[in-house]
Amino acid sequence: MASLLINVKPPFANIYWFPLAALYAAVILPWSVGGQLGWFSAPAGLQSAWGHGHEMIFGFAFAVIAGYIAGPQPKSQVFSMVGLWLAARVSFWFAPTSIFTAMLNIAFVGALVWKLAPTFLHVAKKWRNKSVGFILIGLAISVVGFHSILQSNGLVEFRLKFLIEAVLLLSALMCYMGGRIIAPALGGCFKSHNKVMKNRVQPRFEGGVLILLFLVLILNFISFAWMPMLMAILLFLCALLCALRILRWRPWLCYNRPDLLAMLLGYSWIIVGWVYVGLSLIDRDRSSTQALHAITVGALGTLALTVMTRSRSHRVLRDPNAKPFIYILPLLISVAAILRLSAVRLGYSQSLMLATTCWSIAFGGLFVWLLWLANVKVEVKRRRLQQS
C-alpha cells in the first residue's frame, strides 16, 4: 500500500483552474460591463474600461495559462496559487488602486512566472521555444507597469499602453501555443485519411511572427508621429504570415473534426485582431480599445474555451470529439466578438447586452461541461476500484 501511495502522480492543475476560469469568465464580464453601463451595481474595480480589461487579461487569461501550462502539480501548490489568485481578484474589485492590491496581483503573476518560465528558458533549446518564457516574463512586467501607473496621478494614458502590451503578448502566446496544438492534431487527422501533412510547425513563419511582434512591443513605448504607422505595417505582416501558415496546413481536409475547426476559428481571430489593431493605429476614428476586443474576445475567448474543452474531454473521455455538440460554444464566442466590434453601428447598449449574453452562456456551458467531466472521472475511478 505504501508503494502505491508513493507512485501516485499529482493531478493536473487544469482540474481546478479550468472550471474556475470558466466560471470567472461567465460572471465577471457581465458584471463589469453592466457596472460600466449602469445596468446594475458593481465594485469600483469593475466600473471602468481599464478595470474590465485588467480582470479579463490578468484575471481570466492568467487562470487559463496557469491551468494549461502548469501540467501535473501537487494539490498544496495548486491551492496556494488559487488562493493568491482569488485574493488578488477580490482586492482589485474593491480597491483597484490600493498598494495592497498591486502587491497581491504582482505576487500572483510573479509566482506563476517563477513556476512556469524556467521550464521553457532552461529546457528548450530553440529560441522559438524559449520565447514562451520571455512572453510570460513580459506579461509579468506589464502587470508591474500597469499597477505602477495606478499608484501615480500622472501618466494615466500609459494604462492603455500596458494593456496593449499585455494583449499583444497574449496574442503571441496564443499564436505559438495554438500552432503547437493545431499542427500535430491536423497531422493526426491527415494520417487517419491516409494523407501526408508536409507543413506542420513551419518555423520560418512562426519565428517571423514572433520577431515582428517583439518589434511592435518595443515601438509601442516610442513616441514619434510615424510610429503608429510602422506598428500597423508590422501587425499587418504578422497577420499575413499567420494566414499563409493556416493555408499551408490545408485545414479544409479535416472538415469532420469539430475540435480542430473550433481551434482554427480562434486562431483566425488572432489574424483579425492584428488587422483591427493595426487599423486603429492609423485611423484616429477607430477606437484602440474596441479593436483589442478582436483579440481578447474573439481569439482569447474562442481559443481558451476550445482548449479547456478539448484537453479535458481528451483526458476524461479519451476522445476530444466524443461529444461534438460541445463545440457549438465557441461559435457563441465568435458571435459575441462580432457584436462587440460592431457595437457602434448596431446600437452600443443593445449590442453589448447581446455580446455579453453570448459570452456568458458559452462559458457557463463550459463550466457545466467541466463539472460533468469531473463527475464522469470520479465514476470511472469508482468502477475500477470495485472491479479490483
The mean per-residue pLDDT over the stretch 326-330 comes to: 96
Q: For residue 8, what pLDDT band results from cuts at 50, 70 and 90?
A: low
Q: Note the pLDDT tens digit of each residue in 32-85.
A: 999 988 888 899 999 988 889 999 999 999 999 999 988 778 888 899 999 999
Q: For residue 223, what pLDDT band results from cuts at 50, 70 and 90?
A: confident
Q: Is the pLDDT of residue 29 over 90?
A: yes
Q: What are the boundaries of each domain within the chain?
A: 8-156, 176-365
Tally of CB atoms within 10 A around 252: 9
- Mean pLDDT, the chain, rounded, equals 89
Check if the beta carbon of residue 257 is closer than 8 Å to that of residue 182.
no
Which residues 6+ apart lie within 8 Å of 74 measured at CB? Answer: 10
Strands of the chain (E only): list them: none
The mean per-residue pLDDT over the stretch 218-244 comes to: 92
Backbone angles phi, psi at 373, to 5 degrees: -65, -40
Q: For residue 299, what pLDDT band results from cuts at 50, 70 and 90?
A: very high
Check if the beta carbon of residue 297 is closer than 8 Å to that of residue 336.
yes
Strand partners, 72: 12
* Spatial separation of the C-alpha atoms in residues 240 and 248, rounded to whole Å: 12
- Lowest pLDDT segment from 10-14, 278-282, 291-295, 373-377: 10-14
The mean per-residue pLDDT over the stretch 331-357 comes to: 87
pLDDT of residue 4: 39
Tally of CB atoms within 10 A around 358: 23
